Amino acid sequence: MASLKDVAKLANVSLMTVSRALNTPERLKPETLARVQAAIAETNYVPDLSAKKIRGARATPSTIGVLALDTVTTPFSVEITLSIEETARAHGWNSFVVNMFSDDSPEAVVDLLLSHRPDGII
């Protein structure tokens, strides 16, 4: 997986310039922005949204964690889960599901859910 450093090296710019291209592209000259965007495309760089959350920045899109309690094996629960996913995407949000089965430790499952740093939990 490519890093900001890889993009900066390929575009022959600083890390700060790559960061500006991603966060405030209007602050860059068009030719610099084009060079950075080309390097991003060539390296298949994907921003790490969880790292952005750790730094306290607002990550876009936001993320909803779904805690499913031993129910995702029924058609009805699958329909609910799919509806949550569709609604989240329609509003520009991501979602993920963590399943908790009867033999799971509730604390461990909640810790797993929270380790993804969701903006909200259902």
Residue 54 resides in a domain:
no
Element (H, E) at 115: helix 106-115
Residue 93 resides in a domain:
yes
- How far CA 28 is from CA of 5, 35, 36, in Å, comes to 18, 11, 10
Beta strands in 1-122 (DSSP E): 63-69, 94-100, 120-121
CATH number where 17 lies: 1.10.260.40
pLDDT tens series, the chain, 122 aa = 788 999 999 999 999 999 999 889 999 999 999 999 999 999 988 876 666 555 555 545 688 998 887 666 677 888 888 899 999 999 888 998 888 887 888 888 888 888 888 888 88
Domain that holds residue 69: 63-121
d(CA 94, CA 55): 19
Based on the fold, state whether residues 69 and 112 are members of the same structural domain. Answer: yes
- How far CA 80 is from CA of 4, 22, 92, 111, 120, in Å, comes to 38, 35, 18, 23, 17
